Chains A and B, each alone.
Chain A
Amino acid sequence: MPYATALTALADPTRRAVFEKLRKGPLAVRDIAEGLPVSRPAVSQHLKALKDAGLVRDEAHGVTRIYTINPAALRELRAWLDSFWDEPLARFHKYVEAKK
Protein backbone atom coordinates (compact mmCIF):
# COMPACT_ATOMS: atom_id res chain seq x y z
CA MET A 1 0.00 0.00 0.00
CA PRO A 2 2.24 2.82 -1.25
CA TYR A 3 -0.34 5.47 -0.26
CA ALA A 4 -0.03 4.41 3.38
CA THR A 5 3.74 4.84 3.25
CA ALA A 6 3.26 8.23 1.63
CA LEU A 7 0.74 9.34 4.26
CA THR A 8 2.98 8.22 7.07
CA ALA A 9 5.85 10.18 5.57
CA LEU A 10 3.68 13.30 5.23
CA ALA A 11 2.29 13.11 8.75
CA ASP A 12 5.49 14.74 10.08
CA PRO A 13 5.02 18.54 9.91
CA THR A 14 8.65 19.33 9.13
CA ARG A 15 8.76 16.74 6.40
CA ARG A 16 5.53 18.09 5.00
CA ALA A 17 7.06 21.57 4.94
CA VAL A 18 10.02 20.18 2.99
CA PHE A 19 7.61 18.49 0.56
CA GLU A 20 5.57 21.65 0.14
CA LYS A 21 8.67 23.57 -0.82
CA LEU A 22 8.72 21.51 -4.02
CA ARG A 23 5.25 22.62 -5.06
CA LYS A 24 6.45 25.32 -7.38
CA GLY A 25 9.08 23.20 -9.07
CA PRO A 26 12.38 21.32 -8.72
CA LEU A 27 14.86 22.57 -6.10
CA ALA A 28 18.30 21.80 -4.73
CA VAL A 29 18.71 20.95 -1.03
CA ARG A 30 20.12 24.35 -0.16
CA ASP A 31 17.04 26.08 -1.68
CA ILE A 32 14.70 23.71 0.13
CA ALA A 33 16.47 24.38 3.43
CA GLU A 34 16.20 28.14 2.99
CA GLY A 35 13.59 29.58 5.33
CA LEU A 36 13.11 26.33 7.24
CA PRO A 37 14.15 26.36 10.90
CA VAL A 38 16.10 23.09 10.59
CA SER A 39 19.64 22.31 9.52
CA ARG A 40 20.55 21.27 6.01
CA PRO A 41 21.51 17.72 7.12
CA ALA A 42 18.07 17.43 8.74
CA VAL A 43 16.45 18.54 5.47
CA SER A 44 18.49 15.88 3.65
CA GLN A 45 17.18 13.25 6.06
CA HIS A 46 13.61 14.33 5.39
CA LEU A 47 14.24 14.26 1.64
CA LYS A 48 15.56 10.73 1.97
CA ALA A 49 12.39 9.68 3.82
CA LEU A 50 10.23 11.35 1.14
CA LYS A 51 12.24 9.60 -1.56
CA ASP A 52 11.90 6.23 0.18
CA ALA A 53 8.14 6.82 0.34
CA GLY A 54 8.08 7.52 -3.40
CA LEU A 55 6.92 11.10 -2.99
CA VAL A 56 9.96 12.78 -4.47
CA ARG A 57 12.65 11.93 -7.00
CA ASP A 58 16.16 13.23 -7.24
CA GLU A 59 18.57 13.70 -10.07
CA ALA A 60 22.26 14.61 -10.10
CA HIS A 61 23.08 17.98 -11.61
CA GLY A 62 26.84 18.43 -11.42
CA VAL A 63 27.80 18.52 -7.76
CA THR A 64 24.29 18.99 -6.45
CA ARG A 65 21.07 16.97 -6.49
CA ILE A 66 17.78 18.40 -7.67
CA TYR A 67 14.57 17.17 -6.04
CA THR A 68 11.12 17.05 -7.68
CA ILE A 69 7.69 15.81 -6.62
CA ASN A 70 6.78 12.44 -8.11
CA PRO A 71 3.39 12.96 -9.82
CA ALA A 72 2.65 9.21 -9.87
CA ALA A 73 2.66 9.15 -6.07
CA LEU A 74 0.24 12.06 -6.01
CA ARG A 75 -2.13 10.32 -8.40
CA GLU A 76 -2.13 7.26 -6.20
CA LEU A 77 -2.97 9.34 -3.13
CA ARG A 78 -5.70 11.14 -5.04
CA ALA A 79 -7.21 7.76 -5.98
CA TRP A 80 -7.11 6.73 -2.36
CA LEU A 81 -8.88 9.94 -1.32
CA ASP A 82 -11.50 9.32 -4.00
CA SER A 83 -12.21 5.98 -2.41
CA PHE A 84 -13.22 7.51 0.94
CA TRP A 85 -16.92 7.33 0.11
CA ASP A 86 -16.83 3.84 -1.43
CA GLU A 87 -17.10 2.03 1.88
CA PRO A 88 -19.82 4.25 3.42
CA LEU A 89 -21.89 4.04 0.23
CA ALA A 90 -21.39 0.28 -0.08
CA ARG A 91 -22.61 -0.07 3.51
CA PHE A 92 -25.56 2.19 2.79
CA HIS A 93 -26.46 0.23 -0.33
CA LYS A 94 -26.42 -3.06 1.54
CA TYR A 95 -28.38 -1.62 4.46
CA VAL A 96 -31.11 -0.03 2.38
CA GLU A 97 -31.57 -3.05 0.13
CA ALA A 98 -31.90 -5.33 3.17
CA LYS A 99 -34.80 -3.22 4.44
CA LYS A 100 -37.38 -4.71 2.07
Chain B
Amino acid sequence: MSGAIAPVIKTIEVSHSPLDTFLAFTEEIGAWWPLETHTRANRSDGERSVNVVVEPRVDGRIYEVLQDGRELDWGVVSSFEPGVHFAMHWRLGRPAEEGTLVSVRFEPIAPSGCRVTLTHENWERMGEEGVRMREAYESGWIEVLERRFLAHLGKVS
Protein backbone atom coordinates (compact mmCIF):
# COMPACT_ATOMS: atom_id res chain seq x y z
CA MET B 1 0.00 0.00 0.00
CA SER B 2 1.86 3.05 -1.15
CA GLY B 3 0.71 6.62 -0.63
CA ALA B 4 -1.67 5.83 2.21
CA ILE B 5 -0.64 5.42 5.82
CA ALA B 6 -2.85 3.48 8.21
CA PRO B 7 -4.72 5.77 10.61
CA VAL B 8 -4.09 5.62 14.34
CA ILE B 9 -7.35 4.47 15.97
CA LYS B 10 -7.95 4.44 19.73
CA THR B 11 -11.13 3.56 21.65
CA ILE B 12 -12.19 4.04 25.25
CA GLU B 13 -15.53 3.48 27.02
CA VAL B 14 -16.79 5.69 29.81
CA SER B 15 -19.89 5.70 32.03
CA HIS B 16 -21.13 9.18 31.09
CA SER B 17 -23.56 10.21 28.39
CA PRO B 18 -22.17 11.10 24.95
CA LEU B 19 -23.00 14.78 25.54
CA ASP B 20 -21.24 14.99 28.91
CA THR B 21 -18.29 13.09 27.51
CA PHE B 22 -18.10 15.39 24.49
CA LEU B 23 -18.13 18.48 26.70
CA ALA B 24 -15.44 17.05 28.97
CA PHE B 25 -13.30 16.28 25.93
CA THR B 26 -13.59 19.74 24.40
CA GLU B 27 -14.49 22.43 26.97
CA GLU B 28 -12.46 20.84 29.74
CA ILE B 29 -9.46 19.71 27.71
CA GLY B 30 -7.15 21.90 29.82
CA ALA B 31 -8.10 19.89 32.90
CA TRP B 32 -6.98 16.51 31.62
CA TRP B 33 -4.48 16.98 28.79
CA PRO B 34 -0.93 15.87 29.79
CA LEU B 35 0.54 19.40 29.69
CA GLU B 36 3.89 18.32 31.00
CA THR B 37 4.62 16.01 28.09
CA HIS B 38 2.29 16.31 25.07
CA THR B 39 2.66 19.95 24.03
CA ARG B 40 4.66 22.18 21.72
CA ALA B 41 6.36 24.02 24.58
CA ASN B 42 10.12 23.87 24.34
CA ARG B 43 10.96 22.73 27.83
CA SER B 44 14.69 22.98 27.33
CA ASP B 45 14.18 26.72 26.74
CA GLY B 46 12.18 27.04 29.96
CA GLU B 47 8.75 27.16 28.31
CA ARG B 48 5.92 25.52 30.23
CA SER B 49 2.33 24.92 29.14
CA VAL B 50 -0.36 25.97 31.58
CA ASN B 51 -3.53 25.33 29.58
CA VAL B 52 -5.07 23.97 26.38
CA VAL B 53 -8.15 25.60 24.85
CA VAL B 54 -10.64 24.32 22.25
CA GLU B 55 -12.84 27.13 20.93
CA PRO B 56 -16.28 25.44 20.79
CA ARG B 57 -17.26 26.00 17.16
CA VAL B 58 -16.29 25.03 13.63
CA ASP B 59 -13.22 27.10 12.63
CA GLY B 60 -12.42 27.66 16.31
CA ARG B 61 -8.77 27.45 17.35
CA ILE B 62 -7.10 24.78 19.44
CA TYR B 63 -4.09 26.18 21.22
CA GLU B 64 -1.91 25.82 24.28
CA VAL B 65 -1.09 28.69 26.62
CA LEU B 66 2.42 29.14 27.97
CA GLN B 67 3.27 30.42 31.43
CA ASP B 68 4.00 33.90 30.02
CA GLY B 69 0.62 34.08 28.26
CA ARG B 70 1.86 33.30 24.76
CA GLU B 71 -0.35 31.00 22.70
CA LEU B 72 0.88 28.20 20.43
CA ASP B 73 -1.60 26.95 17.84
CA TRP B 74 -2.30 23.25 17.47
CA GLY B 75 -5.01 23.35 14.85
CA VAL B 76 -8.53 24.35 13.87
CA VAL B 77 -11.90 22.76 14.73
CA SER B 78 -13.45 21.19 11.62
CA SER B 79 -16.48 19.47 13.19
CA PHE B 80 -18.31 20.39 16.38
CA GLU B 81 -21.50 18.38 16.95
CA PRO B 82 -21.98 18.18 20.73
CA GLY B 83 -22.56 14.61 21.87
CA VAL B 84 -21.80 13.15 18.45
CA HIS B 85 -18.61 14.19 16.72
CA PHE B 86 -15.61 16.46 17.14
CA ALA B 87 -12.80 16.88 14.63
CA MET B 88 -9.78 19.08 14.28
CA HIS B 89 -7.33 19.90 11.59
CA TRP B 90 -4.14 19.16 13.48
CA ARG B 91 -1.11 21.16 12.45
CA LEU B 92 1.15 21.78 15.43
CA GLY B 93 2.87 24.65 13.67
CA ARG B 94 3.24 23.14 10.23
CA PRO B 95 1.78 24.52 6.98
CA ALA B 96 -1.99 24.03 6.61
CA GLU B 97 -1.73 21.69 3.64
CA GLU B 98 0.35 19.31 5.72
CA GLY B 99 -2.13 19.07 8.55
CA THR B 100 -3.61 15.76 9.61
CA LEU B 101 -7.14 15.02 10.81
CA VAL B 102 -8.00 14.08 14.37
CA SER B 103 -11.58 12.91 14.55
CA VAL B 104 -13.41 11.87 17.74
CA ARG B 105 -16.75 10.06 17.64
CA PHE B 106 -19.04 9.72 20.67
CA GLU B 107 -21.53 6.82 20.60
CA PRO B 108 -24.00 5.75 23.28
CA ILE B 109 -23.47 2.31 24.82
CA ALA B 110 -25.71 0.43 27.27
CA PRO B 111 -26.81 1.24 29.87
CA SER B 112 -25.90 4.92 29.89
CA GLY B 113 -22.29 5.19 28.81
CA CYS B 114 -20.34 6.34 25.81
CA ARG B 115 -17.76 4.87 23.49
CA VAL B 116 -15.11 7.36 22.37
CA THR B 117 -13.28 6.50 19.15
CA LEU B 118 -10.36 8.69 18.17
CA THR B 119 -8.99 8.43 14.64
CA HIS B 120 -5.86 10.27 13.53
CA GLU B 121 -5.50 10.12 9.75
CA ASN B 122 -4.47 11.75 6.48
CA TRP B 123 -0.80 11.25 7.25
CA GLU B 124 -0.11 10.94 3.53
CA ARG B 125 -1.33 14.51 3.03
CA MET B 126 1.99 15.67 4.37
CA GLY B 127 3.48 14.35 1.21
CA GLU B 128 7.08 13.98 0.41
CA GLU B 129 9.24 17.00 0.50
CA GLY B 130 12.48 17.07 -1.40
CA VAL B 131 15.65 16.81 0.58
CA ARG B 132 16.41 20.29 1.85
CA MET B 133 19.66 20.26 3.64
CA ARG B 134 20.01 23.59 5.34
CA GLU B 135 16.47 24.26 6.29
CA ALA B 136 15.94 25.54 9.78
CA TYR B 137 13.26 23.41 11.33
CA GLU B 138 10.86 24.85 13.83
CA SER B 139 10.78 21.67 15.79
CA GLY B 140 13.00 18.72 15.10
CA TRP B 141 10.74 16.31 16.87
CA ILE B 142 7.56 17.26 15.14
CA GLU B 143 9.37 17.49 11.87
CA VAL B 144 10.86 14.06 12.29
CA LEU B 145 7.78 12.40 13.64
CA GLU B 146 4.95 13.78 11.74
CA ARG B 147 6.28 14.74 8.38
CA ARG B 148 9.47 13.08 7.37
CA PHE B 149 9.10 9.90 9.22
CA LEU B 150 5.47 9.20 8.47
CA ALA B 151 5.94 10.20 4.87
CA HIS B 152 8.70 7.68 4.88
CA LEU B 153 6.58 4.95 6.40
CA GLY B 154 4.09 5.55 3.63
CA LYS B 155 6.78 4.58 1.18
CA VAL B 156 7.91 1.40 2.81
CA SER B 157 4.67 -0.09 4.17
Interface of A with B (CB < 8 Å)? 7, 10-11, 13-14, 16-17, 20-21, 23, 35-37, 69, 71, 74, 77-78, 81-82, 84-89, 91-97, 99
Contacts and interface: CB of A to CB of B under 8 A. Distances in A.
A93 B131 CA distance: 41
B10 A89 contact: yes
B34 A88 contact: yes
11 contacts: A14-B133, A16-B144, A16-B148, A17-B131, A36-B133, A81-B149, A84-B38, A87-B38, A92-B12, A92-B32, A99-B20
A10 to B, nearest CB: 5
Interface of B: 8, 10, 12, 14-16, 20-21, 24-25, 28, 31-34, 37-38, 116, 118, 120, 131-135, 137, 140-141, 144-145, 148-150, 152-153, 155-156
A93 B16 CA distance: 10
B44 to A, nearest CB: 13
Contact of A81 (B20, B131, B140, B150): B150
Given A13-B135, A74-B156, A93-B12, A87 B37 contact: yes
Nearest to A37: B133
| The 5 residue pairs across chains A and B that have the minimum distance between CB atoms | A95-B32, A11-B140, A17-B131, A91-B32, A96-B24
